[in-house]
Structure 1
Amino acid sequence: MQTSDHDGVLVVAVSGELDMISVDKVGTALFEHLAKQPDGLVVELTVDFMGSSALSMLLELYARAQRAKVGFAIVATAVAAARPLMASALTQVLPVAQSVEEAVKSIQEERKPG
C-alpha cells in the first residue's frame, strides 16, 4: 500500500492480492487512515486479485466513512478489481470513480461549503 495526500484527500493505492489472508491487514490500515479524519479517502485498487472478503471490507469502510462524514471513493481500473465490483452490483452502492483525479475532485466538490 502506498499513500499520498491530495490537498487533504488521502489516496491509498492497494496492489497485490486482496484475499482472505491479506484483507485483514489492508482493512486495518484503511480503517486507521479513516480514523484520522482526512477530508476524504480514495482507495485505488490496482490489485491482481480481489475476493469476496475484500468486497465486505470495502462496504464496511464506506459505511464508516459515511458515519464519520469523510468523503470516500474507490478507483478500480484494474480488471481484477472492477470485475468483482460490477458482478456483485456494488458499483451501484459504492462511490466508484474512473480515476484518482476524478475521485479527488468529486470529494473536494462535495466538501465545499455552501
Structure 2
Amino acid sequence: MQQFSERRVGDTDSTVVVTATGAVDMLTAPQLQDVIDTAAAKKPAGLIVDMTEVEFLASAGMQVLMVTHNRLGESTRFAVVADGPATSRPLKITGIADYIELFSSLDVALTSFSE
C-alpha cells in the first residue's frame, strides 16, 4: 500500500518533508506529484522527499522528482532521502543523483538543511 504525507519541520517550520511509502509507479506517481505540489505552493525554504519506506521506484516516480527539481529551481532547496537498492540505486544509475541532493537518512538531510 502506498501513502504520501506532508509535514513541516525545523525551528521555523521552514522545511517540508513529504514522505512516500510502498510503490511509486505510474499509478501512484500522480498522487505523489500532487502532494509535492501542495507542499511547494507554501514556498518552503526546503523540501525533502523521504523515500526510506519506498519498496519500488519506477521511472514515473523518478520523473516526479526531476519535474519537482525543475519547477523549484533555485527558490527552494530540494533533496531526496533514499537508501538501498529500491531507491538510491536507480537514482544513481540514471544520473538523477547528479542533479538532486541525495541523503541516506532523514536525520542527515534535516541536519544538512538546518546548517
Q: Normalised by the size of structure 1, how large is the TM-score?
A: 0.85
Distance 2:45 2:67 in 1: 18
1:11 to 6, 9, 17: 17
Listed as ranges, the matches of 1:9-48 within 5 Å are 9-45=15-51, 46-48=53-55
**Residue 102 of structure 2: aligned partner:** 96
- Is the Cα–Cα contact under 8 Å of residues 4 and 10 in structure 1 kept in the other structure? yes
**Identity percentage over the alignment?**
26
- Structure 2 SS opposite 1:80: coil
Q: 5+ unaligned residues in a row in structure 2: which ranges?
A: none
1:2 to 2, 5, 24: 5
Distance 2:63 2:82 in 1: 15
CA shift digits 1:1-28 (9 cap, x unpaired): 2333221211111001111011011111
Residue type of the alignment partner of 2:8: D
Listed as ranges, the matches of 1:42-61 within 5 Å are 42-45=48-51, 46-61=53-68
Residue type of the alignment partner of 1:30: I
- Structure 2 SS opposite 1:36: coil
Instruction: Please tell me the root mean square deviation across aligned C-alpha atoms, in Å.
Output: 1.5
Distance 1:10 1:78 in 2: 23
Report which structure shows greater RCO (CA 8 Å, sep ≥6).
Answer: 1
**Residue 63 of structure 1: aligned partner:** 70
- Is the Cα–Cα contact under 8 Å of residues 27 and 57 in structure 1 kept in the other structure? yes
Residue type of the alignment partner of 1:6: V
Q: 4+ residue runs of structure 1 moved beyond 3 angstroms?
A: none
Q: 5+ unaligned residues in a row in structure 1: which ranges?
A: 110-114
Q: Which moved more, 1:78-87 or 1:54-63?
A: 78-87
Distance 1:98 1:49 in 2: 16
Residue type of the alignment partner of 2:22: G
Q: Aligned residues, how many?
A: 108
- Is the Cα–Cα contact under 8 Å of residues 6 and 35 in structure 2 kept in the other structure? no
